[in-house]
Structure 1
């Protein structure tokens, strides 16, 4: 599709490749799970990802004795891409603009809607089409520590890490809500050194990267911090973003000033529906643990 096409002449199609790639990059920058997890490109809506659960063994061999053999154990989890959509009401005047110009203007709005929904689903299972999420994995394994279990937050975090380590995994990342930063800044080791280090490109806790969610996706009633081996969480991304122009729909999830759903026909509006496809899968539940809020 030519980038200079007018929107009213191109009522559905694919977002121009350059802009589509930019939106996907924006989504990756705004999403905590995409910054932490292992990403897999997907050429179709399903992808089988071989994962080795145990390796081949080595054996001591006596002189002239036959060498024992063993084989690695593999599992073959399947990533299934699901459609994620955002609908943005706009004035009919936008129909006179080029497809390229419209999506350039809406790029930030589309990206934010996508990465907020992705993090909500991957961390908490909120409105999720996927069978797994980080909180479910931690809960199913009993890998939960309540904040305040110890006298200080750093010891609570250490105990949370220990739950992952007990399963034979190393914690290689943390995810947390933005509001906990103040508490982390106050943490010190025995020598007075800060345990939480804020950097330009990366923040660290116990010298491990920590990513703070500030896109509205975090549920503070369910978790304060996730600790995990995020190589055991897979995000599959299909290339390309598609769109469709809606002219007659009633947007039940979007209300106007009168608190009634927006009716495109009645209010002389149109809406742009943008869609992308991605999959999410936790391949090892015990690789994740959660520091949870204090129960009353």
Structure 2
């Protein structure tokens, strides 16, 4: 059993790493809804059929026609995501297992917040594409209040995807819209939004709520999608490094100044993971928005 003071860099112990990744998956709406792939290197190509082979009626003795499927091979690039958690120097005397058992929740929260913000809206994102940009580029959005009620607006949002021959199989939204969803009823008085222990449903499809500041309410109220066209790639291994003398510009102390590890007799644990994201068909995503987005808002 290794102590942190003797193992200043390395991989997070396997069991703790698995628990952290489970917490990341539970907290991230993009991971719960998307198709998740394992990546064995920092880049991976995905074969996507955009035009399938045709079938033909054939008369007796006639030649059977042939047609080829058209494929594209979009490439996903894994990018490093890091979180720095300051702790007291006494933690160096603990085992790596104990330390990461204690810190798994803040590490997971930081990861899933950054993942949802980047993949859904392109916030501080290293990826070329995101859900919001895909929907805007496809002009797939409905302004909230266009129809008589929220459920009808969302139905119109779903229709944009269905018009492209795709099925909506899930939604993502912010927590603030829950109250409006709870009030929705069908013609028989049955609730359209059904809260569950492990999964919520809306229009009989799962709806995930993005938490901890990841959602940009200025851009969208609800995202509907065929989430099979939303790909997440995760590389194995969660790494860490102990920082002893850094100044944490993004972490402020009670006095409003950045934490200086050396001056405040602290250390910090930097945990990193590698992840890629790729929306592979713009028409698979649509938005319910407060105001119509401008083309400039479609970028990262």
Q: TM-score, normalization: structure 1? A: 0.96
Cα deviations across residues 71-102 of structure 1 (Å, max 9, x unaligned)?
Answer: 11111111111000000111111111111111
Give SS of 1:266's match: coil
Residue 55 of structure 2 is aligned to residue 53 of structure 1: no
Are the aligned partners of 1:30 and 1:215 in contact in 2 as well (CA < 8 Å)? no
Are the aligned partners of 2:240 and 2:271 in contact in 1 as well (CA < 8 Å)? yes
Residue 163 of structure 2 is aligned to residue 166 of structure 1: yes
Cα deviations across residues 139-172 of structure 1 (Å, max 9, x unaligned)?
Answer: 1111111100111001100110111111111101
Partner of 2:154: 157
Q: 1:36, CA displacement in angstroms?
A: 0.2
Are the aligned partners of 1:84 and 1:275 in contact in 2 as well (CA < 8 Å)? yes
Partner of 1:220: 217
Are the aligned partners of 2:220 and 2:287 in contact in 1 as well (CA < 8 Å)? yes
Listed as ranges, the matches of 1:109-124 within 5 Å are 109-124=106-121
Partner of 1:127: 124
Residue 13 of structure 2 is aligned to residue 16 of structure 1: yes
1:68 pairs with one of 55, 65, 74: 65
Give SS of 2:81's match: strand
Q: 1:200, CA displacement in angstroms?
A: 2.5
Partner of 2:296: none
Q: 1:201, CA displacement in angstroms?
A: 2.8
Give SS of 2:20's match: helix
Partner of 1:176: 173
**How many residues of Structure 1 are paired with residues of Structure 2 in the alignment?**
292
Distance (whole Å) between structure 2 residues aligned to residue 32 and residue 223 of structure 1: 15
Q: 1:52, CA displacement in angstroms?
A: 1.4
Distance (whole Å) between structure 2 residues aligned to residue 251 and residue 214 of structure 1: 24
Listed as ranges, the matches of 1:12-51 within 5 Å are 12-51=9-48
Provide structure 2 residue ranges, at least 5 long, that are not aligned to the other structure: 293-300
Listed as ranges, the matches of 1:71-110 within 5 Å are 71-110=68-107
Partner of 1:286: 283
Give SS of 1:201's match: coil
Q: 1:214, CA displacement in angstroms?
A: 2.3
| Runs ≥4 residues deviating over 4 A | none
Q: 1:294, CA displacement in angstroms?
A: 4.4
Provide structure 1 residue ranges, at least 5 long, that are not aligned to the other structure: none
Partner of 1:148: 145
Are the aligned partners of 1:21 and 1:240 in contact in 2 as well (CA < 8 Å)? no
Distance (whole Å) between structure 1 residues aligned to residue 157 and residue 274 of structure 2: 33
Give SS of 1:13's match: strand
Partner of 1:257: 254
Distance (whole Å) between structure 1 residues aligned to residue 24 and residue 211 of structure 2: 13
Q: 1:286, CA displacement in angstroms?
A: 0.9
Give SS of 1:63's match: coil
RMSD value, Cα: 1.1
Distance (whole Å) between structure 1 residues aligned to residue 247 and residue 74 of structure 2: 39
Residue 256 of structure 2 is aligned to residue 276 of structure 1: no
Distance (whole Å) between structure 2 residues aligned to residue 208 and residue 241 of structure 1: 32
Partner of 1:202: 199
